[in-house]
Structure 1
Amino acid sequence: MSPQVPQVHGHCDARFSSVRTAFEENFRERGELGAAVAVVRDGETVVDLWGGWADAAGTRPWERETLVNVWSTSKGPTALCAHILADRGLLDLDAPVAAYWPEFAAAGKESVLVRHLLSHRAGLSGLREPHSLEQLCDWELTVARLAAQE
């Protein structure tokens, strides 16, 4: 990592200056390597910031279009959708997952409840066998591997 604090690039509307301040602090005070943040409000981009490095060696600057994996971003919307379904009586949080996905009951998972999945308490930390990005994009394969996982 570069010993210098990386420069932050981009635009930040004055109304959101605290976002820029917090973003810069991540580099200065928390050792952030590289990052970007964008905020759209009422269809207007009010924050579009990036900075740091796209590699651990600090040789490739983080650019506006640098791509990264965002694995955990679906957790919030998934929980929201599940709770809306539960509120409407369409999903029982106390039901076994297998009530909705019978194949999931394989390998000792028959008593895992929907609420266990939503709270990350089902004991499924990831797939045991290597799973490439291409395979991850194969819905049938990924679902089958998740169902078979102990």
Structure 2
Amino acid sequence: MDGTEEKPKDLIRFTNEKLSVDEVSQSVISPSCGALSLFVGTTRNNFEGKKVISLEYEAYVPMAEAEIRKICDNIREKWAVRHIAVHHRLGLVPVTEPSVIIAISSAHRAESLEAVKYSIDTLKATVPVWKKEIYEEESSWKGNKECFWTKSD
């Protein structure tokens, strides 16, 4: 760093407010970075032949934030990235709206692309966030198939 470059930052946010792709991506831009990679997970309108109206998310936020900090630490050990932002929506998320946005900046594309894939895969496997699918005629709490606590030996 030449003294003018900002310190790397990890921006973690859980909110009931609508997420903004622009806001999240802008938060990780850096003059030293030529790559900004994004993952945007949105609510789709169907699951196993049922019409989905919305999703509802709950989290134990202190634990969820701690788990995401671990993910950020692991990313920084594996890849040369500048900034990491992970925003997750809580409450009701209508069809087509983002539930989670992850943005990572790096000097080159390979690092940020690999780090984004790692972060969403690890988030779904380790972070205590629960999802309820609300269908046209019923609702159902779902565990992520990646979650370590849902696997049986």
| TM-score, scaled to structure 2 | 0.24
Larger strand fraction of residues: 2
Larger helix fraction of residues: 1
Q: Which has the higher contact order (CA 8 A, sep 6+)?
A: 2
Which structure: larger Rg? 1
